[in-house]
Amino acid sequence: MRTYIKLFFAGLVIVAGAAVCLITIGRFGERIAVTTEKLSQAAESEKEAVTGEKLDQTTEGERLIREKLLQAVENAKRGDRKELDMMIEFVPRDKGVNITKKMLSEFISFLNEKDAQVQLLGTHGLYILKSPESKQVLSEYLKGKDFAKLEERATTGTLDERHAARWEFRASVAAIMTLGKLGDKSVIPLLESIRQKTNLELEWGFSPVEEALAELGAVEILSNIPPEADERQIRRAARAIRKIRDPNKAPELMATVYDVNCAPPIRYSALEALGKINTVDVPEFLLGVINDSQIPVSMRRTAVWTAAQTGNEMFEETFSAIADPNSEIRTDGLCGLTLLKPDKYLKNIFRMIRDEKEPDEFRDLLTKRLLLYIPWQQKRQMLEGQKDELYSCLNTNKTDGSPHDKIRVEMWCQINDIFGEEPTLVLSSKSPEVTLHLRHPIGTKIRRANPHLSVQEERRLIDEKIDTIVQVYKPQSEKEKENGR
């Protein structure tokens, strides 16, 4: 019996070893199984030591990859979809497979297959190649789609129909994104017609049609959305406009900012895009928006944030002017100065946050805006050198001398995030309303340390930790105040 057991486990080891070899040999073989016959041929030709990286750079490597592509499609037709599944997963990855232009015809031919997964493999390959020669075939591929029926099949069809429809949606997304990357503006009408038919968000969190239109600089089409339009449609267009980087589109973006017929999020996004483009005429334009009291305050605030992001010191004078106590965008001016020159202005902001002579609401808003203004990529670097200031803010009081709970909690969260410390925190109470924002950072650490906790147990541990960290403020009596003098 022991002998049989040993043989059984030995067989498992051999099978596992063979499986690893099949998956890992060669660059393409890092992901896709290579047949035993190919391995034998490689050994006979003294190529055992040749890695996939080297193989892919040879004509022989290209030939083998093309063979594997075609073989995977043929196997899928016979019901064996393992290799096709792996190719669909790894072909789109950077350096996952060495795709060359010589394979263009194979990928184009895959679009004519009935199998939606094969179509997806074809569109993935064409996306990697981004060859102008594929524009026509991709356009024809999309023109033939009935997206209304496709959506119906994806939601109400049989299980097989739903799977096929979703693969086809993914193939359509890859085709659309490829057309955007090709940069040929002649496909804009086609993309706009698709946009009217479907949102293509069944499988994807982003909006590929809008993204492709942004790649092509179609500002007028993307911005042509009235304020009363569907919220999701506005959000998709705004997100796409924010990504436009073509300097030639700056005039159109400027026009969009002042177009009252556009939804506000569209106008804000146009401002942000201008900040990223930052051509020579952009700074003067942003100054005009900041100083224009006739446009909405929210848009002026966006303009300040955008201007601060450019790092252009010409904005310092304007930011200083709008930081005046009588300005309706005072907090934005202060935060803009801090983002522009943190070494010069950041300590002053912290002092202002602690200053009990300043209104409570103003200091609360200043704290929130400061942390929103600083890009998350820069926040740690900017605040690491301000540890003493952050700790001092844990003692921030309201104008009546009681704890300013909101500021204290916010600063505690920053200390916990940046330094990993959990200092004692004095608040007016331990009520859920006061300690609400402590629950997220504390809960995150608890979940990381105990990933299998029940919801009830997690809540209990969070409550216990808050009870340990938070002390309740006790006002001084008149006698204590006199003794403290």
Task: Tally the domains of the chain.
Answer: 2
Whether 33 maps to a domain, the answer reads yes
pLDDT for the residue numbered 337: 96
Domain co-membership, 53 together with 105: no
Question: How confident is residue 358, by pLDDT bands cut at 50, 70 and 90?
Answer: very high
Whether 32 maps to a domain, the answer reads yes
Pick the last residue of a domain from 98, 122, 139: 98
What is the sign of the dihedral through the CA atoms of 474, 480, 484 and 485? Answer: positive
Domain co-membership, 118 together with 93: no
Domain co-membership, 186 together with 82: no
Domain co-membership, 53 together with 150: no
pLDDT tens for residues 429-468?
999 999 999 999 999 999 999 999 999 999 999 999 999 9
Close Cβ partners of 473 (under 8 Å, ≥ 6 residues apart): 402, 403, 426, 427, 428
The Cα 22–Cα 41 span in angstroms is 14
Pick the last residue of a domain from 165, 192, 216: 216
pLDDT for the residue numbered 9: 37
pLDDT for the residue numbered 368: 95
- Asked if the model's pLDDT at residue 265 lies above 80, the reply is yes
Domain co-membership, 107 together with 212: yes
Quick check: 134 and 178 in contact, CB under 8 A? yes
Name the residue among 144, 143, 166 with its Cα closest to residue 156.
166
- Asked if the model's pLDDT at residue 332 lies above 60, the reply is yes
- Asked if the model's pLDDT at residue 323 lies above 60, the reply is yes
Whether 145 maps to a domain, the answer reads yes
pLDDT for the residue numbered 201: 57
**Torsion angles phi and psi, residue 471, rounded to 5:** -115, 145
Query: How confident is the model over 291-295, as a mean pLDDT?
Result: 92
**DSSP string across 349-407:** HHHHHH-TTS-HHHHHHHHHHHHHHS-HHHHHHHHHTTHHHHHHGGG-B-TTSSB-HHH
Domain co-membership, 63 together with 80: yes
pLDDT for the residue numbered 479: 61
The Cα 26–Cα 34 span in angstroms is 8
Question: How confident is residue 392, by pLDDT bands cut at 50, 70 and 90?
Answer: very high
Domain co-membership, 28 together with 110: no
Domain co-membership, 175 together with 91: no
The Cα 428–Cα 407 span in angstroms is 12
Range of the domain at 109: 100-216
pLDDT for the residue numbered 152: 85
Whether 484 maps to a domain, the answer reads no
Name the residue among 289, 319, 316 with its Cα closest to residue 302.
289
Whether 467 maps to a domain, the answer reads no
Percent of the chain topping pLDDT 70 = 82
pLDDT for the residue numbered 6: 41
Domain co-membership, 105 together with 165: yes
- Asked if the model's pLDDT at residue 43 lies above 70, the reply is no
Query: How confident is the model over 409-436, as a mean pLDDT?
Result: 95
Burial 102-129 (b: 16+ CB within 10 A, else e): ebbebbbebbeeebbbbbbbbbbbbbbb
pLDDT for the residue numbered 189: 92
Domain co-membership, 53 together with 83: yes
Whether 110 maps to a domain, the answer reads yes
Name the residue among 359, 302, 360, 364 with its Cα closest to residue 329.
302
The Cα 203–Cα 179 span in angstroms is 19
Query: How confident is the model over 72-82, as a mean pLDDT?
Result: 88
How many C-beta atoms surround the C-beta of residue 58 within 10 A?
13
pLDDT tens for residues 208-237?
889 899 999 999 999 988 888 888 889 889
Whether 454 maps to a domain, the answer reads no
Q: What angle do CA 75, 124, 71 make, to 5 degrees?
A: 20
Query: How confident is the model over 168-172, as a mean pLDDT?
Result: 88
* Block residue for tokens 């498992």: 12
Percent of the chain topping pLDDT 90 = 58
Share the mean pLDDT of the chain: 83
Rounded-to-10 torsion of CA 30, 115, 162, 151: 110
Pick the last residue of a domain from 165, 199, 216: 216
Query: How confident is the model over 284-298, as a mean pLDDT?
Result: 95
SS3 84: helix
Total residues belonging to the chain? 485
- Asked if the model's pLDDT at residue 12 lies above 50, the reply is no
pLDDT tens for residues 102-129?
889 889 999 999 999 999 999 988 988 8
Q: Which residue has the higher pLDDT, 254 or 65?
A: 254
Question: How confident is residue 199, by pLDDT bands cut at 50, 70 and 90?
Answer: low
pLDDT for the residue numbered 328: 93
How many C-beta atoms surround the C-beta of residue 483 within 10 A?
9
Residue 45 per-residue DSSP state: T
CB-count burial class (<10 Å; 0-12, 13-18, 19+) for 330: middle
Domain co-membership, 109 together with 212: yes
Q: Which residue has the higher pLDDT, 124 or 54?
A: 124
Question: How confident is residue 58, by pLDDT bands cut at 50, 70 and 90?
Answer: low
Domain co-membership, 49 together with 76: yes
Whether 61 maps to a domain, the answer reads yes
Q: Give the global pTM.
A: 0.73
